[in-house]
Every structure is written in structure tokens, then in C-alpha cells.
Amino acid sequence: MIKTPAKSTAALLTAHKLACERDERRLFNDLSFNLYAGELLQLEGPNGAGKTSLMRLLAGLLPFSEGEILWQGQNIDACREYFYQSILFIGHLAGIKAELSPLENLTWFAALEGIHDETLLEQALWQVGLAGYEDHPCHQLSAGQKRRAALARLTFTQRLVWLLDEPFTALDKNAVAAIENLLIAHSQAGGAVILTSHHALEALPNLKKLSLGEEL
Amino acid sequence: MNQAKHHKAAAFCRLTPKQVNSPSLAGVFVAALKREWQLQVRRKGDLINPLVFFALVVVLFPLGVSPTAEILAPVAPGVLWVAALLAVLMSLDALFRPDLQDGSLEQLLVCGYPVAPLSLAKVLVHWVLSCLPLVLLAPLLGIMLYLPWQAQGVLMLSLLLGSLALSLVGAIGAALTTGLGKSGVLMTLVVLPFYMPVLIFGTGAMQAAVNGQPVLAHLALLAALALAALALSPWAIAAALRIAVSGE
């Protein structure tokens, strides 16, 4: 189902000598990595090491001072729209509207991918354990339930690379295990994931780690 | 469905959509309009506040000045327009801030579609829900200020065109100050100079109508301002939103 690039051996996403400064402080320098199809990349590092900044920088939300980011070998400035239509970014704040129900929230995210199938969205909410909460406004849900509503996107998205910033926040053990399975399924289907997490994810196949903030 | 069943069901399995049509920008724009509509009609307080403000200013003005027609009728166009302008300005302050706070703004910027038309959808829905009620309320308040009958239609028409321009230009200011926390005064200072022409042509049209002169020229200029704002401000809003998010 997921569109794999023509050259499946080439890196999907390449960071080349990235440097990021925030408020006159250099968070990282000379950072390079490749992300290939089927890989899970975990960003590690102490609090304040720049994991979230790197994530936002990859999603194009932060400017970077040096280096370049390549999407399938092409500078992302040259293929911005295509790049954004290929990634799914879920940040600390997941973009769930408190006034809307989980179903209404998902409807918008699905519409961005051209999916207008309400039964599918109901199934997605069922999959994340929100059956029966479809029509409750999200401000009535707990933090973990809101997170589940946001992550329900992962069950149906067709996007190739997922950028997940602390996806396990507020989730219970079962949900964490279930999300890990989802990440494995996505990588096995030819997708790739970059995530930040303080969870030990050793059980996941094809896991790569990138440590930030050690030289500081 | 019982509680036990929910937990058993929380399996996070991959689902396969039956049909995926690569969405057109028009389709996404319509989806954005729908979502904004659902969202903004549920913020009842935000919808009512500008109306109450508008009504209060116009109700209190005669108490503070004089309730006689000789004094109120000549100043009615100006009072109505200034009160409506400030009501629009007030309603815009929180246009983008909730989106920044819950991450919707980030999602908008990474969604893969041009930000300008999608933020335009937000401003248009806001205009329909916040400014059209002002336009509809205006004639009633006009009667309270002894506005002549022949100027009532022009009042509504000029406010209709003017409030569109005010909303679009004000949204640029709202987007620019989104990242600053509480920023009501700064936004006002940024936006107010651009409100002057709209105010001048709006009250100009009203004065002309009161004096029985042709109003078409004033209204045409207001319409031109509204159309220019419609064409140009989405790009400025999009750029301002990018700055707001990268400053987080």
C-alpha cells in the first residue's frame, strides 16, 4: 500500500552536516545520518540535548544554520510539497482540538490524505481503544486518551516517514506495546520512523540509535 | 459497548483504506472550512463578545453625550463604524493562539498543502461567524442613534465590505503576534494604521448617504480594499505563522 521509492536502496532522508543554534547556544554540530526504508531511528540524549529541535528541524518547522536535508537525494527546499506529503509529524502537542470529538479531529487528518471513509475512522478509534468516545469533545478525555486519539492517525496513514516526538507520553503499557507493534509493521511495509523516546526500544528490529548532546 | 471490550480492542492494528484519492487543494480547502466551522461555532463566548462590545458602546454613547437627535444623528456614522472596527479588532486577537498552543498550527505547516489558502479558510469562517452578526445588528443600533433611514442600507453594505478587509488585515497582525503570549496592545498598534483607509471610506460612504450624495465611489473603494486584502493577506498570514512557529 505504501509507495516505496524507486531506488529502495537509496536513503529516504539524509541529514548532511546539520548544525542548529537556539538562543545563541549551539545544540548540535556536524550532524549527519541516513534514514533508509525499513529503519527505526531513535534519537537519544539528555533533556535539552536538542532532540525536539532536531525533530522540528527535520519537519521544516525550525530553520537550521548549516548543512542540508535531502529527501530521496533531493534538497528539501526543491521538493517541499512532495516532502511534506510524504512525512507525518506528531509533536509534543499533537494538534488535537479540545472542542472537537476524536472522530472530527481524525476526519481532518484523513481528509489531508484523501481518505473520506467514516467507517475506517471509526475502526481506527476502535483500534486505539476509544470506541464509545467518538462523539465526546476531546477536552473531556484524559491525557492518555488524547494521545491515543492523535496516534490513531498512524493506523491508516499512507505517509512514508513518521516523525514522532515522544509518542509514548501519557500512554499505558499496553498502548506502548501496541504502538511498538505498529512501528514494526510500518517499517516492515517499507516505511521508516524517527522517534524520540526515553523508553528502551531494544526489542524492535532494525532499530538505529542517534545520540545527541554527548560532546557538549 | 462494555469497558472490558474497549481494552481488548486497543490493538493499534494497521487499517487499509478502501479508497485513497490524492486530495486536491480545493478538497482540502473545503475540509478546512468544515473543520473551522465546527470549531468556531463551539466557542460561543468568542462569538458573543464582539457583539456585546459593539452593542454596549452604541448604547452607552447617548448616555454619555446626549440623547437628542440633533447631537446623535450627525455623529452616528462615525460612532457605529468605530465601534464595529474595534469589535472586529477585539475578536481577532485570539484567532491563531489556540492553534499554536495545541499544536494545530504545526500540523497546518507540515500538512503538505499551501498554508495561505488554508489560513484563509480560517479567516473566512471567522468573518462569517463574527462579522456578519455585527452587520446584521448594526441597523438596530443605527435606529438608536437616529441614523436616517436612507443610510441604513449603506451602513450594512459598507460594514459588510469593510469588515472583510478588517478581518483579513487584522489576521496578519494576529498571526504576527501569535507567538508573544498576551499581545492585545501590540497587535492593535501593528494593525491600526492599515485600518485607517477602511474607516475613512466606510464613514465617507455613510456621510454621503446621510447627505443624499452618491455612495458608489466610496463603496467601490471599500470593495477594492476588501479584494486587495483577500488576494494579498493570506500570503502574509502564512509567512507570519511560520515565524510564530519557528520561534516556539
Q: What is the pLDDT of residues B190-245, one digit of tens each?
A: 999 999 999 999 999 999 999 999 999 999 999 999 999 999 999 999 999 999 99
Domain that holds residue A102: 96-157
Residue in A215, A111, A191, A129 with CA at minimum distance from that of residue B1: A129
- Together in a domain, A6 and A58: yes
B1–A132 C-beta distance less than 8 A: yes
B-chain residues within 8 Å CB-CB of A89?
106-107, 110
- Together in a domain, A152 and A199: no
Cell of A20: 542548529
Per-residue pLDDT of B149-174, as tens digits, reads 989 999 999 999 999 999 999 999 99
The answer to whether B38 contacts chain A (CB < 8 Å) is: yes
pTM, 2 dp: 0.90
Residues pairing with A64 in the sheet: none
A-chain residues within 8 Å CB-CB of B12?
127-128, 151, 154-155, 175, 178-179, 181-182
At A202 the pLDDT is 74
- Together in a domain, A75 and A166: yes
Cell numbers 540509535: residue: A209
A-chain residues within 8 Å CB-CB of B103?
91-96
Selected for mutation to probe chain B from A120, A126, A146 (highest B CB count within 10 Å) is A126
B27–A92 C-beta distance less than 8 A: no
| Domain stops at, among A136, A157, A178 | A157
- Together in a domain, A59 and A6: yes
- Whether A152 is in a domain gets the answer yes
At A216 the pLDDT is 43
- Together in a domain, A9 and A82: yes
- Whether A91 is in a domain gets the answer no
- Whether A185 is in a domain gets the answer yes
- Whether A174 is in a domain gets the answer yes
- Together in a domain, A37 and A117: no
Residues 6+ away with beta carbon under 8 Å from B8: none
Low-confidence ranges of chain A (pLDDT < 50): 1, 4-8, 216
- Together in a domain, A22 and A69: yes
A100–B38 C-beta distance less than 8 A: yes
At B248 the pLDDT is 66
| Average of per-residue pLDDT across B41-47 | 91
- Together in a domain, A127 and A54: no
At A9 the pLDDT is 64
At A63 the pLDDT is 83
Burial of B122 (0-12, 13-18, 19+ CB in 10 A): buried
B35–A108 C-beta distance less than 8 A: yes
Residue in B154, B177, B176, B174 with CA at minimum distance from that of residue B166: B174
- Together in a domain, A72 and A109: no
- Together in a domain, A153 and A163: no
- Whether A149 is in a domain gets the answer yes
| Domain harbouring A51, CATH code | 3.40.50.300
Helix, strand, coil share of chain B (percent; to 5): 80, 0, 20
- Together in a domain, A71 and A164: yes
Complex ipTM? 0.88
B-chain residues within 8 Å CB-CB of A129?
6-7, 9-10
Number of domains in chain A: 2
Per-residue pLDDT of A116-168, as tens digits, reads 888 999 999 998 989 889 889 999 999 999 999 999 999 999 999 999 999 99
- Whether A177 is in a domain gets the answer yes
Tell me how far apart the terminal alpha carbons of chain B are, to the nearest angstrom.
42
| Domain stops at, among A112, A140, A157 | A157
